[in-house]
Chain A
Amino acid sequence: MFPQFGATAETLSKASTMVFRIGTDAHLYDDPDDVNIAPLLDSKYDSEKCEALKRLLALIAQGLDVSNFFPQVVKNVASQSLELKKLVYLYLLHYAEKHPNEALLSINCFQKDLGDPNALVRAWALRTMAGIRLHVIAPLVLVAVSKCARDPSVYVRKCAANALPKLHDLRQEEHNSTIEEIVGILLNDHSPAVVGAAAASFASVCPYNLSLIGRNYRKLCEILPDVEEWGQIVLIGILLRYAIARHGLVKESIMSSLKCSENFHAEKHVSDDNMGLGKESSDSWAYDSESVNMVFRCYIESPDEYLSRSSYANRASFELNGAQFTSGKTNDDVKILLYSTSPLLWSNNSAVVLAAAGVHCIMAPKEDVKRIIKPLLFILRSSNASKFVVLNNIQVFAKAMPSLFAPHHEDFFIYSSDSYQVKALKVEILSSIATDSSISSIFKEFQDYIRDPDRRFAAATVAAIGLCALRLPRMAHICVDGLLALTRQGLFLFSYFVLSVCLDRIKVPAARAMIIWMMGEYSSLGEIIPRMLTTVLKYLAWCFTLEALETKLQILNTVSKVLLGATGEHLSTYKKVFSYLVELAECDLNYNVRDRSRFLKKLLSYNFVSEGVEEITCCHVVVDCIFKKQTREVKAESINYRVYLPGSLSHIVLHAAPGYEPLPKPCSLLLDDFNKPEGTCAIVKGAGDHGTSSDPSDNESASDYDSQHSFTGSSSGAHADDNESSEGNENPDPLIQFSDIGNASEIQDGVFHSSPANLGEISNRALESWLEEQPGSSNPGILEQSQACKSLARISIGDVGRRIKRKSHSLLEAANGNGLKVDYSFSSEISTISHLLVCIEVFFKNCSSETITEITLVDEESNIASNDDVPTLVPMEKISSLEPGQTTRMILQVHFHHHLLPLKLALFHDGEKLPVKLWPDIGYFVKPLPMDVQAFADKESRLPGMFEYTRRCTFAGHIEERNKEFGDSLLNKDKYLAICESLAVKMLSNANISLVSVDMPVEAKLEDASGLRLRFSSEILSSSLPCLITITVEGKCSDPLNLSTKVNCEETVFALNLLNRIISFLVEPAY
């Protein structure tokens, strides 16, 4: 109308925004490219560099790839300006993974910054360094983190705690023990801010290592209110897990009320007698014990157990015994947990409130649980998204203890601004907490809701009214009257229509049954309903097999009702539907359904055949009786789906989300666990992991070792020397004999003296020839041999091959794979196809109750142009089917190209695709290269200086082993051999290498293992370069030993990574 005015307004507003935007970075965002960025980056002025980086950021924000500036940007990391640093870090973190080599250039600067006096500089350097996520620099980051964990600045320590999960994400197992150690240090920090961050890293790094919490439990509880809110959320969960694992459940809590129900009834009677308000008080304790039990069982059960339970319908599998309970009134640890979490119910952060409420709900004595109600209701007043989450949690609480929420029913009245999901949840909660006294006001509200413009919600309300009627039989007439009033108003026609449309949205069996009942009841009402009945009935027939029991029965009833009332043209259709349904029902699994169908068939067929008026009325009478009984029969809805821990993501999405962990088993954490060395897994995990499988082999290895003749396994014949077997068996003393296959007779009765000083003398030159053959993997007998080098004696340790135990990794958990469990372990087999391929043994196990078909593993990235550098998978044969409980082993061959990043695979089964990740192990990027000592020394001398890497570590494996064998009267066993064996076994089980020799100094002293030396050799798969490993031992036999591990190899980066891997598994305790 006024174009000129519009134009001026536009220009005006433009002008005003121009004024407003002065001084902002708007111009950089609008035209990031209008100057040449490259020269700016090389400018000598910080301000120009800053501008260049801001332009780059703007380009990133607009979705462009500016990684080509990486080298120039990295140079600026050395700048002194903090703003510039920050901008460079932002850029670096964005692109570091794309340019690992250039990113390495920045490492020196970070190292320098870590020593800066400014705490902010140190913290940022640490954050960025850890955030770069390159496997190569992980050891450096680890050093930096452990240094920063002791920094005087709180902020830096906090950043160190945050850096730990980043390191852990790299999945370099060699660092795990160090990382856990640092977590322990940080959890013990005196600053609440650090403890919060440490709790977060604990939860993501080692959530099972609860013994770490045990040491600081009290301190953590006391510091909890001062920890910052985000840390509180995580810490509350950890403390709860610890308390349950350590002390079990509180017997006064509602969660264990079922167990104590008898006592509880007794108490109730007492209170009835004593108090005038006895009736009232006993009502308030009337928890829905079945739901409580169900909820509680779900909290503790892992998804695996749930799967197995549901598939075998073994409901009794979960039993609690009295020992798993503790008293909340006498147990100080539980008391302090409740005491320190109770003020958090007033927290400003709703996630904290919910976490604290979860603890109280599970652990608090019954009479104290009510304190969580008001805070929970208070946090309802927030955004729609959080309202939904909170309501979801309240829903479970309310089902378990409706009486506590009943007085607050007003809080669940809806507002028009609520989203549909929130409204539906509120109505459902209302229907479950309604009591005789509140039903009238709730019902009034419901009547208003039925007029809501959102018809889905109106339908949900009608279903809720039905539920209320079922829950409160005394009030049912009000509900029914109300519904009938609706029908009279004609509105019902509409809601009827809506109901039938919504039928497939409403999943609760009780509600479905209710709606179907109404359809049958009012099938002859009005004009429209008879016309749409056919469609509805067809729909019901179609989904009959998928329905729950009560719904099935109701469908049968409804169809027969319709059939009885039907006349005219639809009769034949109804008859068809009816006979179809009856046929289906007769084959039903449930006998109730079968009975009902036979009964109705008989009744109605008789009716149709005779067509007598009297019979029809008779049938009507009979059917009416059934229907009246039926509505009474339907049970109140119980929680019949799976429930997850309050506040968890799984709780909202209703399936076990990745990372979901149920509560630990009550009392699974024993006091003894505190005495265990750090880093051991303190929680007894669910059945079926390696814990059980390793036990027999440990025992076996112990017996194998004390005398190689007394093998119990059938394969022992292949290794044991037959000559000696008889006498070995008779020898009760665990003396170790040294012998030799070739010349057994010469030395067979030589006894190994515990004084090693004379080892050199006993040595037999004649045995040297035997040593030429490849040692290490499967040779029995104990040999000692003087070497060319006079000062060293050579030992041969027997039979380590049998003790090699490959570590099994999990590729797919049964819970995520619909019951298919896939584990893999690296194998020492050499591929028959190409020497570049690594063989991996994959075990497919079907944990579900159904046959899984068409399993195959495919490389996910294979369709991308097959670059030489990308790890590739040799296509695997398909497993056509896997029966329940069956396990199949497959050999997978992968060309890793020395990539340490996980290989993304796609697992197909039953036509379904699941992404999985395979973590490579550098220990298997090599293959054994048998050689003699001479050749080894020769090669070693040609790889000096920069081809040689050494790292030191401590080793305690032999002590663990001795502790295990303690009971087997093996005290006299030779300690040297024990050390050599445990070292060799550890090496050979974790890397594909061959043992060359084991040497010990001739002049070794008693109890002193210093000078012991093991040599291993291998060849890199891709380059066929030899890779030599030497381990030298220092220290006393009975103490943890200091090892110095040396790797000689031409490929230095590979050697360094291999060395790190070796150190890590040497340090790692036996599992």
Chain B
Amino acid sequence: MPPLMGIEFLCRVSDVLSDYLGGLNEDVIKDNFVIVYELLDEMIDNGFPLTTEPNILREMIAPPNIVSKVLSVVTGNSSNVSDTLPGATGSCIPWRAADPKYANNEVYVDLVEEMDAVINRDGALVKCEVYGEVRVNSHLSGLPDLTLSFANPSILDDVRFHPCVRFRPWESHQILSFVPPDGEFKLMSYRVKKLKSTPIYVKPQLSSDAGKCRVNVLVGIRNDHGKTIDSITLQFQLPPCILSADLTSNTGTVNILGNKTCSWSIGRIPKDKTPSLSGTLVLESELERLHVFPTFRVGFKIMGVALSGLQIDKLDLKTAPSRLYKGFRALTRAGEFEVRS
């Protein structure tokens, strides 16, 4: 078996388990060990993946939810194994459960983007790109056939699709044509490279002499998108040669964790002042100056904007039902946003 296949499969198992159990840790697995056994048995057979499609799995082995828990307590009967084979196993669209019915037909499309950026020691933007996902949450009756098109597909550097997306329409017209799975799923992921600017700036200054190192970090908004930037955090690993650190900030809180990770959570940037972190680090006794400098990892969240600039043009449903509610949202987070010092 190719190693990447093994790794992918393990990732899939962990996705399914955390989807079922609402998290993945030792206790949760112990508490639901029967379901875990049943799932693993269904997902892999003789070392080869058998059923990994979450929709089918969910029909075969019911996830534990409040209703079933209560039921099981009341009735004492706790069967979560389906009696019949899910219809989707035989269909050519295995991701879609057979013929769901909804009173309200709704589709929500979310653009969730993560910005990866590297700013080098000179403060220059070395690399800035966006990794985005189009997440769709569909509650549609019957067998809907959707088409989604972008206003500016040319900015996409590369794409990857959910198996439901038909390849040929994308190849010819950059149109996503698909029969969606029921519920929430990742329709596609994309990458936009070579962006010119980041929404916030981080300016670290470290100067060290005489066994000490002075730190001063400034954080600010570079250009206004009209949207507020939330939950700004800054994390960095103190170099191992540091004995103690005394860091204070004018906004937010600073924590130094046991493994010498310093985390500064700012939240929203106040209007009246620029957040700054300052303080001194004490080096080990033999060292005169600091030779290795930490890398600052930045986190933020911006609601309502896709920083890549990708825009959804329209979403159409062939054989439209009487009433279809469509919703669009966007969100940008920091991915691997790093500032070297």
The residue from B68, B77, B157, B291 contacting A491, defined by CB atoms under 8 A apart:
B291
Residues in B76-128 with C-beta less than 8 Å from chain A: 76-85, 89-90, 92, 94, 116, 118, 120-121, 126-127
A346 touches B90 (CB 8 A): no
Known pairs A413-B118, A417-B336; A350 contacts B8 (CB<8 A)? yes
Of A159, A346, A390, the most chain B CB neighbours within 10 A belong to A346
Q: Decide if B205 is an interface residue (CB 8 Å cutoff).
A: no
Contact yes or no, A29 B239, CB < 8 A: no
Q: Does A385 make an interface contact (CB < 8 A)?
A: yes
Cβ of B201 within 8 Å of any chain A Cβ, yes or no, is no
Closest residue of chain B to A165 (Cβ to Cβ) is: B46
Q: A383 and B46: CB pair below 8 A?
A: no
Contact A26 B89, CB 8 Å, known A47-B77, A162-B45, A389-B3: no
Min CB distance A683 to B, Å, is 21
The minimal Cβ–Cβ distance linking A877 to chain B, given in whole angstroms, is 39
Stretch at the interface among B134-142, B147-155, B161-169, B215-223: B161-169
CB of A342 to closest CB in B, whole Å: 8
Is the CB–CB distance between A118 and B84 below 8 Å? yes
A625 to B116, CA, bound (A): 48
| CB of A1055 within 8 Å of the partner chain | no
CA of A131 to CA of B73 in the docked complex: distance in angstroms?
Answer: 34
Contacts of B9 in A (CB 8 A): 230
Q: Which residues of B contact A349 (CB under 8 A)?
A: 8
Task: Given A83-B80, A118-B84, A445-B120, decide whether A378 and B160 contact each other with a Cβ distance below 8 A.
Answer: yes
Contact B162 A378 (CB under 8 A): no
Cβ–Cβ < 8 Å partners of B79 in chain A: 50, 81-83
B73 to chain A: closest residue by CB? A23
Contact B159 A385 (CB under 8 A): no
**Nearest-Cβ distance from residue A224 to partner chain B, whole angstroms:** 11
Asked if B33 lies at the interface with its beta carbon under 8 angstroms from chain A, I say yes
With A351-B2, A374-B157, A453-B292 given, is the CB distance from A86 to B85 under 8 Å?
no
User: What is the CA–CA distance of A657 and B9 in the complex, to the nearest angstrom?
Assistant: 20
> B257 contacts the other chain (Cβ, under 8 Å)?
no
Return B15 CB to nearest CB of chain A, in Å. Answer: 12
Judge if A377 is at the interface, Cβ distance under 8 Å. Answer: yes
Tell me which residues across on chain B come within 8 A of A154, comparing CB atoms: 89-90
> What's the nearest-Cβ distance from chain A to residue B236, in Å?
9
Contact with A along B64-76 (1 / 0, CB 8 A): 1000111011001
Which residue among B46, B70, B77, B121 has the maximum number of chain A CB atoms within 10 Å of its CB?
Answer: B46
Tell me which residues from 439 to 481 in chain A have a Cβ below 8 Å from any Cβ of chain B.
Answer: 441, 444-445, 447-448, 451-453
Contacts of A197 in B (CB 8 A): 48, 50
Are A225 and B5 neighbours in the complex by a CB distance under 8 Å?
Answer: no
- Chain A residues, Cβ within 8 Å of B301: none
Q: Does A648 contact B (CB under 8 A)?
A: yes
A165 to B50, CA, bound (A): 13
Residue A166 is within 8 A (CB to CB) of chain B in the complex: yes
Q: CA separation between A67 and B77, bound complex, in Å?
A: 26
Q: Is B131 an interface residue (CB 8 A)?
A: yes
**Most chain A CB neighbours (cut-off 10 Å) among B2, B68, B162:** B2
Q: Are A348 and B82 in contact (CB under 8 A)?
A: no
State whether B50 touches A162 (Cβ < 8 A): yes
A159 near B45 with CB under 8 A, answer: yes
List B contacts of A377 (CB < 8 A).
158
CA–CA, A451 and B186, complex, Å: 39
Per a CB cutoff under 8 Å, which of A28, A159, A228, A441 touches B126? A441
* Known A-B contacts A90-B41, A441-B126; A230 and B49 likewise in contact (beta carbons under 8 Å): yes
Find chain B residues with CB under 8 A from A158 CB: 50, 89
Knowing A26-B30, A416-B338 touch, does A351 contact B295 (C-beta < 8 A)?
no
Whether the pair A444, B4 counts as a contact (CB closer than 8 A) is no
Q: Do the beta carbons of B38 and A354 come within 8 Å of each other? A: no
Q: Which residues of B have CB within 8 Å of A58? A: 33
Q: How far is the CB of B184 from chain A (nearest CB, A)?
A: 15
- Judge whether A191 is part of the interface by a CB distance below 8 angstroms: yes
Task: Decide: B34 and A346 in contact? CB cutoff 8 A.
Answer: no
Residues of B within 8 A of A451 (CB): 121, 291-293
A378 to B4, CA, bound (A): 14
Q: Are B4 and A390 in contact (CB under 8 A)?
A: yes
Collect the chain A residues with CB atoms within 8 Å of residue B81's CB. 82-83, 86
Query: A86 CA to B82 CA in the complex, in Å?
Result: 11
B292 near A378 with CB under 8 A, answer no
Q: Is the CB of A355 within 8 A of B161?
A: no
Evaluate contact between A375 and B161: CB separation under 8 angstroms.
Answer: no
Which one, A119-127, A554-562, A736-744, is touching chain B?
Answer: A119-127
Check if B158 sits within 8 Å of A374, measured CB to CB: yes
A61 touches B90 (CB 8 A): no
Report if B11 contacts A (CB, 8 A): yes
Chain B's nearest CB lies how many Å from the CB of A306? 21
Q: Which residue of A lies closest to B28 (CB)?
A: A24
Q: What 0/1 pattern do residues 221 to 233 of A give for CB contact below 8 A with B?
A: 0000110111001
CB closest chain-A residue, reference B291: A491
Indicate which residue in B168, B186, B191, B340 contacts A448 across the interface (CB closer than 8 Å): B340
Chain A contacts for B4, CB-based, 8 A? 350-351, 354, 386, 389-390, 647
Partner of B118, one of A87, A378, A415: A415
The yes or no answer to A193 lying at the interface (CB within 8 A) is yes
CA distance A378 to B156 in the complex (A): 12
Which A residues from 341 to 378 make CB contacts under 8 A with B?
343, 346-351, 353-355, 374-375, 377-378
Majority DSSP secondary structure for residues of A touching B? helix
Cα separation A1057 to B17 with both chains bound (whole Å): 43
| CB <8 Å contact, B7 and A386 | yes
Check A580 for interface membership: any CB of B closer than 8 A. Answer: no
Instruction: Indicate if the CB atoms of A444 and B37 lie closer than 8 Å.
Output: no
Are the C-beta atoms of A57 and B85 separated by less than 8 Å? Answer: no
Q: Which residues of A contact B76 (CB under 8 A)?
A: 47
In the complex, the answer to whether B120 meets A448 with C-beta atoms within 8 Å is yes
Closest A residue by C-beta to B93: A226
* Chain B min CB distance to A494 (Å): 6
Collect the chain B residues with CB atoms within 8 Å of residue A130's CB.
46
Q: A166 contacts B46, CB within 8 Å?
A: yes
Cα distance A491–B81 in the bound complex, in angstroms: 64
**Residue A22 is within 8 A (CB to CB) of chain B in the complex:** yes
B32 within 8 A of A: yes
Determine if B94 and A23 form an interchain contact, defined as CB atoms under 8 angstroms apart.
Answer: no
User: For B68, what are the chain A residues with a Cβ–Cβ distance below 8 Å?
Assistant: 23
Check A86 against B41 for contact (C-beta < 8 Å). Answer: yes
Contact between B46 and A57 (Cβ–Cβ < 8 Å)?
A: no
B31 CB–A CB distance under 8 Å? yes
Known: A25-B32, A191-B90, A378-B191. A448 touches B121 (CB 8 A): yes
Q: Which of B35, B48, B116 has the most CB of A within 10 A?
A: B48
With A58-B33, A120-B82, A226-B92 in contact, do A383 and B7 touch (Cβ < 8 Å)? yes
CA of A61 to CA of B70, assembled, Å: 26
- Please give, as numbers and ranges, the residues of chain A lying within 8 Å of B120 by CB-CB distance: 444-445, 448
Say yes or no: is A1061 at the interface (Cβ < 8 Å to chain B): no
Q: Is the CB of B292 within 8 A of A23?
A: no
Residues of A within 8 A of B35 (CB): 25
Query: For residue B30, which residue of chain A has the nearest CB?
Result: A29
A230 and B90 in contact (CB under 8 A), knowing A120-B82, A155-B85, A162-B50?
no
Q: How far apart are the CA atoms of A710 and B315 in the complex, in Å?
A: 85
Measured in the bound complex, the distance between the Cα atoms of B69 and A200 in whole Å is 39
Interface flag for A153 (CB, 8 Å):
yes
B residues whose Cβ falls under 8 Å from a Cβ of A: 1-5, 7-9, 11, 27, 30-35, 37-38, 41, 45-46, 48-50, 52-53, 60, 64, 68-70, 72-73, 76-85, 89-90, 92, 94, 116, 118, 120-121, 126-127, 131, 157-163, 167-168, 170-171, 186, 189, 191, 193, 237, 239-240, 291-295, 297, 336, 338, 340
Q: Can you name 30 A-B residue pairings with CB atoms under 8 Å?
A: A17-B27, A23-B78, A25-B33, A57-B34, A61-B37, A120-B83, A130-B46, A159-B50, A162-B46, A193-B90, A228-B163, A229-B52, A233-B2, A346-B160, A346-B167, A347-B160, A350-B8, A351-B5, A375-B158, A375-B160, A378-B158, A381-B191, A410-B127, A413-B118, A416-B338, A444-B120, A445-B126, A451-B121, A494-B291, A648-B3
